[in-house]
Amino acid sequence: MNDCERMEDSIGPWLDGELSAAESELVRAHVTACARCGEARLRLETIDRALSSVLVAEAPKIEFASFWRELQQRIEQKTPWHKRLLERASDWTSAPTAAWAVPVLIAVLIAVLSYESYFPIRRSRNNFATVESIDSHGRNVALLREDESKTTVIWLYQNQEGDDEAAEETPPAGPAF
Amino acid sequence: MELSDWDLVQKCQSGDMSAFQELVSRYHQKVYMVILGLLRNREDALEVSQETFLRAYRKIGGFKGGSSFYTWIYRIGVNLAIDAQRRQKRNPLEFRDTMDTVLESQNEVARDPFAEVHDRELRENLVKAINDLTPEHKAVIVLRTIEGLSYKDIGAILGCSEGTVMSRLHYARKKLHDKLRSFL
């Protein structure tokens, strides 16, 4: 970043009177000597003037008596409870008070997600283990799962002769009619 | 001798309605101008200004004087205006008529016709460029331009640091400059 780029960032605060005396002097000296920054200053002043004429000059004068009369009526009017609740909610959620809402939301989310690990929810759990088995060409894999202790036992075994289901299904030898 | 804002607030807190009336008379125009700057619609701005003072009336019992009264009332108004702006579906005010009125009141219509056209176009485009800013960027521009508030006060109103105000102002002015490049 060269001198001019750095100075351009400071011209706005300088025109707004937000710089210290030493910083102001530095910017003033540079803007006076540098054509590019001098033009940047003129552009900013033109924008500020135009802004002022649009935002200030366009605003109509509000007559106090009618403003106050209407306000008084609203003050005396009983506000329904649901509107008050909405007002309070909007006060809580509006900037800058909404700043607390983000960490609270994150904390609640984490608490909900980790709740089950600290306080296991007893859904349809019981103390029985379930057994699943997969049979593949005479070699079996049995899985024994137990919910409560979250234990899984894997049991590999081979079919003994005569245990083979396929053998049972084999039609008996001999003439079939 | 004129009472200070804080004296009036304390009177309000002890139930003095005329003290609140005095505070409203001091700030209603300024609050309205800031809200109009944000909402760009006169009826909506008037409605939100009324709501601002209504809320202030209800909450004044809890105002401890940690900030100045005007910072506090602007904070209520700006927050309500930003909320309203996000909900706002209605078309913004037609500014052509408004600008004619402004120019006539400044006796500029009879001046150099080229300058007049240039001025008019600049202002019309400026209004469009302001409307394109986010509510937060618009708020710093409006508070700075209308009230000439310091970065510290703007930060107190918007609930952000002076550094954030400075960078938002820088960004907003740059955006406005980029959109108005052909007029500057």
Tell me the whole-structure pTM to 2 decimals.
0.67
| Residues of chain A with C-beta less than 8 angstroms from the C-beta of B49 | 62, 67
Closest CA in chain A for residue B128? A54
Domain ranges of chain A: 1-77, 129-169
B74 in the same domain as B9 = yes
Is residue B92 reached through a cis peptide bond, with omega within 30 degrees of 0 on the bond before it?
Answer: no
Q: How far apart are CA A1 and CA B14, in angstroms?
A: 58
Q: How far apart are CA B129 and CA A28, in angstroms?
A: 29
pLDDT score at A123: 56
Number of domains in chain B: 2
Burial of B105 per CB tally in 10 Å (0-12, 13-18, 19+): exposed
Closest CA in chain B for residue A52? B145
Q: How far apart are CA B184 and CA B180, in angstroms?
A: 6
Average pLDDT over residues A14-22: 94
B116 in the same domain as B83 = no
A·B CB contacts under 8 A: 109
Task: Provide the ipTM.
Answer: 0.79
Measure CA A86 to chain center. Answer: 23
Q: How far apart are CA A30 and CA B171, in angstroms?
A: 22
pLDDT score at B124: 84
pLDDT score at A171: 47
Given the structure tokens 């540098």, which residue do they identify? A34
B111 in the same domain as B45 = no
pLDDT digits (tens, 9 = 90+) for A73-122: 999 887 777 777 777 666 665 555 556 677 788 888 888 777 766 666 55
| Residues of chain A with C-beta less than 8 angstroms from the C-beta of B71 | none
pLDDT digits (tens, 9 = 90+) for B132-162: 999 999 999 999 988 899 999 999 999 999 9
B70 in the same domain as B50 = yes
pLDDT score at A127: 57
- A147, pLDDT greater than 80: no
Q: How far apart are CA B92 and CA B38, in angstroms?
A: 11
B132 in the same domain as B63 = no
Question: Any idea what the CATH number is for the domain that residue B73 is in?
Answer: 1.10.1740.10
- To the nearest whole Å, the CA of A108 is away from the closest chain B CA by 25
Given the structure tokens 């289901």, which residue do they identify? A165
CATH 1.10.10 fits A1-77, yes or no: yes
pLDDT score at A35: 92
Structure tokens at B31: 């609050």
Average pLDDT over residues B29-38: 93
Structure tokens at A47: 């924008």
Of the residues B66, B87, B108, which one is the last residue of a structural domain? B87
Cβ of A57 and B37 within 8 Å?
Answer: no
Contact predicate A47/B173, CB 8 Å: yes
Of the residues B87, B117, B142, which one is the last residue of a structural domain? B87
**Local confidence band at A169 (pLDDT 50, 70, 90 cut-offs):** very low
* Residue B106 bridge partners (DSSP): none
The parent domain of residue B172 ranges over 95-183
| Residues of chain A with C-beta less than 8 angstroms from the C-beta of B25 | 64, 68
Of the residues B87, B120, B154, which one is the last residue of a structural domain? B87
B69 in the same domain as B27 = yes
Q: How far apart are CA B74 and CA B143, in angstroms?
A: 9
B70 in the same domain as B26 = yes
Average pLDDT over residues B116-135: 85
B173 in the same domain as B99 = yes
- B56, pLDDT greater than 90: yes
Cβ of B159 and A13 within 8 Å?
Answer: no
Cβ of A50 and B123 within 8 Å?
Answer: yes
Whole-number average pLDDT of chain B:
85
**Strands of the sheet with A129-136, listed across from one edge:** A129-136, A139-146, A151-158
- To the nearest whole Å, the CA of A71 is away from the closest chain B CA by 6
pLDDT score at A176: 43
Q: How far apart are CA A42 and CA A24, in angstroms?
A: 17
Q: Hey, how many other C-beta atoms are within 10 angstroms of the C-beta on B83?
A: 16
pLDDT score at B168: 95
Cβ of B142 and A16 within 8 Å?
Answer: no
Max mean pLDDT among A33-37, A126-130, A166-170, B50-54 falls in B50-54
Give the nearest partner residue to B83 out of A12, A75, A94, using CB atoms. A94
Q: Is A78 on the interface with B (CB under 8 A)?
A: no
Give the nearest partner residue to A13 out of B145, B146, B166, using CB atoms. B166
Q: Rounded to 5, what percent of chain A is helix, strand, coil?
A: 55, 15, 30
Question: Any idea what the CATH number is for the domain that residue B106 is in?
Answer: 1.10.10.10
Contact predicate B137/B158, CB 8 Å: no
Burial of A44 per CB tally in 10 Å (0-12, 13-18, 19+): buried
**Local confidence band at A168 (pLDDT 50, 70, 90 cut-offs):** very low
Helix B69-87 and helix B5-13, axial crossing angle in degrees, nearest 10? 80
Percent share of chain B, pLDDT over 70: 86
Closest CA in chain A for residue B157? A96
Cβ of A47 and B24 within 8 Å?
Answer: no
* Residue A140 bridge partners (DSSP): A135, A157
The values of phi and psi at residue B106, to 5°, are: -95, 5
pLDDT score at B87: 77
B39 in the same domain as B63 = yes
Closest CA in chain A for residue B54? A75
| Residues of chain B with C-beta less than 8 angstroms from the C-beta of A94 | 79-80, 82-83
Whole-number average pLDDT of chain A:
75
DSSP state at residue B109: T
B105 in the same domain as B71 = no
B128 in the same domain as B177 = yes
B70 in the same domain as B49 = yes
